[in-house]
Every structure is written in structure tokens, then in C-alpha cells.
Amino acid sequence: MMILLNAFEMGTVGHNAPGQWKNPEDKSATKRSLEYWIELAKLLERGGFTALFLADIFGGHDTYEGSLDNCIRRAAQWPVTDPTIASYITNVL
């Protein structure tokens, strides 16, 4: 029997572990660099992974208090790899 390992990654600093970006060992803030993705690919290859699923998010969640403010402040699934969203957050903050 063959087991296929698939990894899941999302172009956001906060997905399943909000606040993890505060950990000094966390590298999610570097997802806008090509080096992050190259190192991830090398790690998965060393680990024998078959595939990498890249989840996408098109914008922040604005359902809490009808505003994006808390989503942006806490990096709650905020997309960082989309250049249009990245420029928006730069203007907001």
C-alpha cells in the first residue's frame, strides 16, 4: 500500500494559528519572498511529500462588526501574496 502525503499552505500569515506570527521562529511573514516558497518546496521534497495544495483567499473577513479592522490587525486569514491586497493593507495601516 502506498501513502501519498499532501501539504496544505495558504498565502496568509494567520490561518489555523492566529497569533503564531508573534513566535520568533515563525516565517509566515516572509511569504511574499520567493525564498520562502523555495525553502518550503525543498522541505516537502526531503519529507517525501507528493503534492502541495495552495489555498487562496481573495480578501479579509469583514463580518465581525462589519469591518475589516480586526481581520487586518490580527492577520486573520489576510492574503499576503496578492499584490493588490498587499498594497491595500499598506495604505490602511
Q: What is the pTM of this model?
A: 0.67
Condensed to tens digits (0 to 9), the pLDDT of residues 6-37 reads: 999 887 776 666 667 778 888 877 887 888 88
70 close to 3: Cβ distance less than 8 angstroms: no
- pLDDT band at 85, cuts 50/70/90? low
- Distance of alpha carbon 30 from alpha carbon 54, whole angstroms: 16
> What distance in Å separates the CA atoms of residue 13 and residue 28, rounded to the nearest whole number?
5
Return the DSSP state at 47: T
Average pLDDT over the chain, rounded to an integer: 77
